[in-house]
């Protein structure tokens, strides 16, 4: 739609302008650093950074109503860079010119109300936000679109050239990094480090297909992360893990979309998110705080983080109710079907601690909770969700299990509308589904399939028909016989009633 066709009171705001003053902000020593260079940790204390807009007060100049209208009408714009996460440009990258923004179809993922019977059984009104419907089939694309738009801006302005982008990954970060890197060929080359045999074949195929250099490392994600950190400390590379604060910024779009989908009324909304390296939950909290501070939302929704008992350092940290006695300890992970969250030492833990404090403070009550679920619950819940018409990945199953746990613990009740994050597409984890159906999980997973949830293909091959060799079709009579016998076998299998005419 053309600018002149938008309501007059928002016309001058409908296409965002470059604005704001972004700086890296150290959560530990409170130093600020210029964003004209790629920084991952604080040069003076080594702590992780967050990006802060020092001029965020300017965002309060518009009323909540105006912002709502601007975001709603922006859906009608046909400007590539503003079709995805940058619909919220003022909040997640306002210093970047529109011409540098990259859009590969990320963001605006659907929020789907759960199957009616499933909602009744559980007794909670809930939705799946299908972040697996992003271009590389996980939410990581949100952060990558932002980080790569920033790098694109540095390339276009002549600050950077011949970028080697690098990341460690549990599978999805590398898929997203490789995709966005490939789109910016030849300016960017991408290399990814994966824990050997700890990503699914689908996830491994993604960076290979995008032409990235793929390294497999013995060990788990936490080991790969250490190697990547060493590389980024000593060589000229662009680190694309969520340690990179631009990733967090882009991932805030998830919470903005939810605010918009609920017409900015979040007082009885709860968001359930899986926690791995803790970038996602950091972004969700930070995004909501920013919308709250600009007056766009009046209430902060409840947030429930979920971890598997096989990788639960954040859950353990918050088990201690006395904040002064809390002490973060990394854990050694065990095999988990929520493999993208199989992380024992989350890089964003300092950010989580900082943001949870702020979030609870603004809420005036404890409003962020972390629950723990078993591998069995994760797998059962994923299969159940998908049996009822959803496309949840194992982490989507983890969220459903987490919601059920939160109801039992009275963290939420039937007054809430709950949004579960299906962080990736079910297809990325179809191997785990197969293992469930065929009961072939290694004992360490501690998963025993439930009979009623298993499903198998059935081969129908009428006995008394000789199938011809490939390339040599059946003669017409034999083929008719084949069709008749096969269809009657299927009909008897399905107990179909015969038609009278």
Binding site for ligand PLP (CB under 6 A): 138, 140, 172, 242, 274-280, 340-341, 393, 395, 423-424
Among ligand PLP, Zn ion, none, the one that 140 touches (CB under a kind-dependent 5 to 8 A) is ligand PLP
Decide whether 274 or 301 has the Cβ nearer to ligand PLP.
274
Q: Output the DSSP codes for 371-440.
A: EEE-HHHHHHHHHHHHHTT--B-HHHHHHHHHHHHHHHTTSS-TT-EEEEEE-BBGGGGHHHHHHHHHT-
28 touches Zn ion (CB under 5 A): yes
29 touches Zn ion (CB under 5 A): yes
CA dist., res. 385 & res. 70, Å (int): 35
Closest approach of Cβ 158 to ligand PLP, in Å? 32
DSSP H or E stretch at residue 22: strand 22-26
Number of H helices, E strands in the chain: 17, 13
52 touches Zn ion (CB under 5 A): no
Closest approach of Cβ 141 to ligand PLP, in Å? 10
Closest approach of Cβ 241 to Zn ion, in Å? 19
CA dist., res. 72 & res. 259, Å (int): 11
Closest approach of Cβ 397 to ligand PLP, in Å? 11
Decide whether 232 or 282 has the Cβ nearer to ligand PLP.
282
Judge whether 21 and 34 are in contact, CB under 8 Å: no
Q: Which of 13, 47, 52, 125 binds Zn ion (CB under 5 A)?
A: 47
Among Zn ion, ligand PLP, none, the one that 393 touches (CB under a kind-dependent 5 to 8 A) is ligand PLP
SS3 content of the chain, % helix, strand, coil (to 5): 45, 15, 40
CA dist., res. 222 & res. 186, Å (int): 30
Find residue 468's DSSP bridge partners: none
CA dist., res. 411 & res. 403, Å (int): 9
48 touches Zn ion (CB under 5 A): no
Among ligand PLP, Zn ion, none, the one that 45 touches (CB under a kind-dependent 5 to 8 A) is Zn ion
Question: How many residues are given for the chain?
Answer: 501
Closest approach of Cβ 162 to ligand PLP, in Å? 28
Among Zn ion, ligand PLP, none, the one that 16 touches (CB under a kind-dependent 5 to 8 A) is none
Decide whether 30 or 483 has the Cβ nearer to Zn ion.
30
Judge whether 16 and 94 are in contact, CB under 8 Å: yes
Closest approach of Cβ 353 to Zn ion, in Å? 15
Residues of the shown chain interacting with Zn ion in the complex, contacts defined by CB under 5 A: 26, 28-29, 31, 42, 45, 47
């Amino acid at each position: 739609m053309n600018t002149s066709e938008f309501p007059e009171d928002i016309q001058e705001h409908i296409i965002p302008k470059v604005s704001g003053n972004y700086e890296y902000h150290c959560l530990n020593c409170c130093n600020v650093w210029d964003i004209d260079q790629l920084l991952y940790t604080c040069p003076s204390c080594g702590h992780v950074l967050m990006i802060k807009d020092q001029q965020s007060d300017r965002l309060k100049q518009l009323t909540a109503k105006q912002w709502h209208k601007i975001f709603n009408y922006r859906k009608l714009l046909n400007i590539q860079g503003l079709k995805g996460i940058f619909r919220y440009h003022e909040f997640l990258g306002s210093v970047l010119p529109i011409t540098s923004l990259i859009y590969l179809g990320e963001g605006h993922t659907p929020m789907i109300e759960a199957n009616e019977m499933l909602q009744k059984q559980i007794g909670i009104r809930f939705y799946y936000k299908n972040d697996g419907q992003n271009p590389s089939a996980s939410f990581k694309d949100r952060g990558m679109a932002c980080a790569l738009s920033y790098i694109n801006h540095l390339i276009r302005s002549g600050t950077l050239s011949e970028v080697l982008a690098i990341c460690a990954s549990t599978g999805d970060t590398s898929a997203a990094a490789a995709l966005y890197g490939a789109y910016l060929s030849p300016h960017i080359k991408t290399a990814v480090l994966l824990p050997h045999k700890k990503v699914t074949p689908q996830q491994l195929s993604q960076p290979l297909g995008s032409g990235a250099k793929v390294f497999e490392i013995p060990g788990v994600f936490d080991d790969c992360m250490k190697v990547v950190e060493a590389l980024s400390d000593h060589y000229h590379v662009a680190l694309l893990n969520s340690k990179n604060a631009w990733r967090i910024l882009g991932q805030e779009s998830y919470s903005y979309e939810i605010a918009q989908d609920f017409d900015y009324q979040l007082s009885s909304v709860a968001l359930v998110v899986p926690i791995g390296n803790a970038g996602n939950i950091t972004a969700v909290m930070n995004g909501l705080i920013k919308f709250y501070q600009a007056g766009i939302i009046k209430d902060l929704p409840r947030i429930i983080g979920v971890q598997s008992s096989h990788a639960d350092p954040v859950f353990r940290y918050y088990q201690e109710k006395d904040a002064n006695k809390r002490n973060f300890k990394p854990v050694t992970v065990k095999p988990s079907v929520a493999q993208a969250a199989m992380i024992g030492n989350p890089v964003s833990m300092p950010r989580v601690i900082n943001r949870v404090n702020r979030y609870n403070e603004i809420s005036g009550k404890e409003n962020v909770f972390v629950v723990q679920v078993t591998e069995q619950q994760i797998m059962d819940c994923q299969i159940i969700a998908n049996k009822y018409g959803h496309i949840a990945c194992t982490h989507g199953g983890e969220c459903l299990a987490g919601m059920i746990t939160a109801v039992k613990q009275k963290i939420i009740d039937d007054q809430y509308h709950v949004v579960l994050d299906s962080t990736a597409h079910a297809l990325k984890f179809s191997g785990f589904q197969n293992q469930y159906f065929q009961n072939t999980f290694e004992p360490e997973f501690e998963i025993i399939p439930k009979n009623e949830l298993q499903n198998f293909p059935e081969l129908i091959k009428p006995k008394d028909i000789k199938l011809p060799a490939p390339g040599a079709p059946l003669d017409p009579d034999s083929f008719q016989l084949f069709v008749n016998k096969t269809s009657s076998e299927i009909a008897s299998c399905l107990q179909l009633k015969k038609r009278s005419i």
